[in-house]
A = this chain, B = another copy of it.
Amino acid sequence: MPKNQQQIQLARRPKGVPAHDDFRFETIAVPEPQDGEVLVKTSYVSVDPYMRGRMQDTKSYVEPFALDEAITGGVIAEVLTDGNKLKKGDIVIGNLAWQEYSAVNESALRKLDTDIAPASAYLGILGMTGLTAYFGLLDIGRPKKGETVVVSGAAGAVGSTVGQIAKIKGARVVGIAGSDEKIAYLKEELQFDEAINYKTADDIQKALEQACPDGVDVYFDNVGGPISDAVINLLNEFARIPVCGAISSYNTESEEEDMGPRVQPKLIKTKALMQGFIVGDYADRFSEGAKQLAEWLKDGKLHYEETITEGFSHIPDAFLGLFKGENKGKQIIKVSDPS
């Protein structure tokens, strides 16, 4: 066991697009577990777009990260010391600091069943991203058989799951993503009905009209911005818009810059519903969602991709890559192999 380890702290609050200098690598001691705690070794770290919001100190749905303290997030780890319930060798998940070793209260960790899926899946398809897709689409979007579901950020971890669940429910699914490789993945591997590359489409509005000849009944909005403006022009009566992410606006320096056509006239014309949500709103139904996702996964109805970057030192790179569309599926950093 080493005496010291690396920790990643928030060095400053980003202005616009986050940069390397917003992060600081600090050498700290490997902690001694106290009563009720176990020592864990970090195996996988999750980086997610919502973390950009936590880097700011504005009012949001989660507490901002503190300056000069460790950044925290979804982490899978291996238990190194026996506790009251957990045993050495158990693989666990928790909201932990970005560091190599942590001493954590057992109650803050959940033991994983790695027979159902590899441990890393619990950061994605069987974790927050899968549950985000599940509840946002089914509880707010409520797709019916034969309806048209459009999803933006479609090749991302949430978006790709949304589209597949919509297909399971019998909807026609149109994905929007930013590279030809992603488009091929959506159409060929995930069997989306249509997929649009917004970066190469001459006119995103026309491309959407062609892809959605019967209009749009559900729009799962992962991006906000001009892409969403174009989809909102095609809403059918009583359309539903789960608003999950606005990645296109996360990096503007102030919200005032994120201007577009106001939605009110369109919502009135179509009697449509837009609702923001976060997966935490559904905490009391997580077991329902996790069970269904695991079942679909076992039955081969759900596929997922992971982009696994190796090495603790590459966590900031992997996070910054989210905003450049570098990842396909869930972005994970492998810090160490569970033994």
A61 in contact with B271 given A249-B264, A262-B259, A265-B249 (CB within 8 Å): yes
Which residue of chain B lies nearest to A222 when distances are taken between CB atoms in the complex?
B264
Q: Are A273 and B271 in contact (CB under 8 A)?
A: no
Nearest CB on B from A47, distance (A): 18
- Residues on the B chain within 8 Å of A261, using CB: 255-256, 258-259
Asked whether A189 is an interface residue with its Cβ less than 8 Å from the other chain, the reply is no
In A272-294, the 8 Å CB interface with B consists of 272-278, 281
- Residues on the B chain within 8 Å of A237, using CB: 61
Q: Are B224 and A264 in contact (CB under 8 A)?
A: yes
Asked whether A197 is an interface residue with its Cβ less than 8 Å from the other chain, the reply is no
Q: Are B281 and A276 in contact (CB under 8 A)?
A: no
Asked whether A270 is an interface residue with its Cβ less than 8 Å from the other chain, the reply is yes
Q: Are A258 and B268 in contact (CB under 8 A)?
A: no
Nearest CB on B from A130, distance (A): 19
Asked whether A108 is an interface residue with its Cβ less than 8 Å from the other chain, the reply is no
Q: Are B265 and A263 in contact (CB under 8 A)?
A: no
Interface of A is mostly: mixed
**Bound complex: CA A107 to CA B243 (Å):** 44
**Bound complex: CA A258 to CA B232 (Å):** 14
Nearest CB on B from A176, distance (A): 15
* Complex partner residue of A267 from B53, B60, B243, B269, CB under 8 angstroms: B243
Nearest CB on B from A269, distance (A): 5
Nearest CB on B from A61, distance (A): 6
**Bound complex: CA A312 to CA B294 (Å):** 68
Asked whether A78 is an interface residue with its Cβ less than 8 Å from the other chain, the reply is no
Asked whether A244 is an interface residue with its Cβ less than 8 Å from the other chain, the reply is yes
A243-B267, A273-B273 are known; give 6 further A-B pairs, CB within 8 A: A61-B268, A229-B262, A249-B262, A269-B276, A271-B277, A272-B275
What are 9 contact pairs spanning A and B, CB under 8 A?
A: A61-B268, A229-B262, A249-B262, A255-B261, A260-B262, A267-B275, A268-B278, A271-B281, A272-B275
Instruction: Give the 7 A-B residue pairs with the shortest CB-CB distance, closest first.
Output: A267-B276, A224-B264, A246-B264, A268-B276, A273-B275, A246-B265, A260-B262
